């Protein structure tokens, strides 16, 4: 039996927040999230499939900023886009999103110089992400 090589790459979680919520996000403190769509940019340089599966679980140890948001019952991943690209593309995508969406300052970017890796978006932004050759993740 042949073992499949893990996929490495970058991903964008499209998150729907069903109602305004306040979430205590670790060291960032309490943040308010308005109802609507958000895009979170991340990287999985070991195993993309496992990372996305972890993000989809509600009950998990909170390690990343996005874990705090996704543990809230009013926040749900509705779509995942990805590309087999190196880690530096995580910040390139975040910088692109900052030009067309509202950044949540300090969120998800404690290990880089970006202003944010989470953005309040509209549906047009999702279309624009596809122009960056991000594919829909189905697993």
Q: For the chain, which residues make up each domain, given as ranges?
A: 9-136
Give me the sign of the Cα torsion angle 119, 129, 137, 51.
Answer: negative
pLDDT recorded at residue 59 = 83
**Does the pLDDT at position 54 exceed 60?**
yes
pLDDT recorded at residue 139 = 60
Average confidence (pLDDT) over 63-92 = 93
Percentage of residues in the chain having pLDDT higher than 90: 65
Interatomic CA distance for residues 42 and 109, integer angstroms: 9
Average pLDDT, the chain: 90
**Does the pLDDT at position 73 exceed 80?**
yes
**Does the pLDDT at position 7 exceed 90?**
no
Q: Which residue has the higher pLDDT, 12 or 137?
A: 12
**Does the pLDDT at position 57 exceed 80?**
yes
Interatomic CA distance for residues 3 and 85, integer angstroms: 21
pLDDT recorded at residue 4 = 58
| 16 DSSP β-pair partners | 37, 76
**Eight-class DSSP state of 60:** S
Q: Is 26 left (phi over 0), alpha (psi -120 to 50) or beta?
A: left
């Amino acid at each position: 039996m042949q073992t499949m090589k893990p996929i490495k790459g970058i991903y964008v979680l499209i998150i729907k927040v069903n109602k305004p919520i306040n979430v205590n996000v670790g060291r960032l403190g309490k943040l308010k999230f308005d109802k609507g769509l958000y895009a979170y940019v991340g990287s999985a340089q070991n195993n993309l499939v496992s990372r996305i599966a972890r993000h989809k679980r509600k009950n998990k140890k909170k390690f990343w900023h996005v874990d705090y948001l996704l543990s809230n019952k009013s926040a749900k991943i509705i779509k995942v886009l990805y590309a087999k690209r190196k880690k530096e593309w995580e910040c390139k995508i975040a910088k692109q999103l900052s030009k067309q969406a509202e950044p949540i300052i300090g969120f998800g970017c404690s290990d880089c110089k970006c202003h944010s890796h989470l953005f309040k978006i509209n549906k047009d932004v999702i279309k624009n992400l596809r122009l960056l050759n991000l594919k829909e993740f189905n697993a």
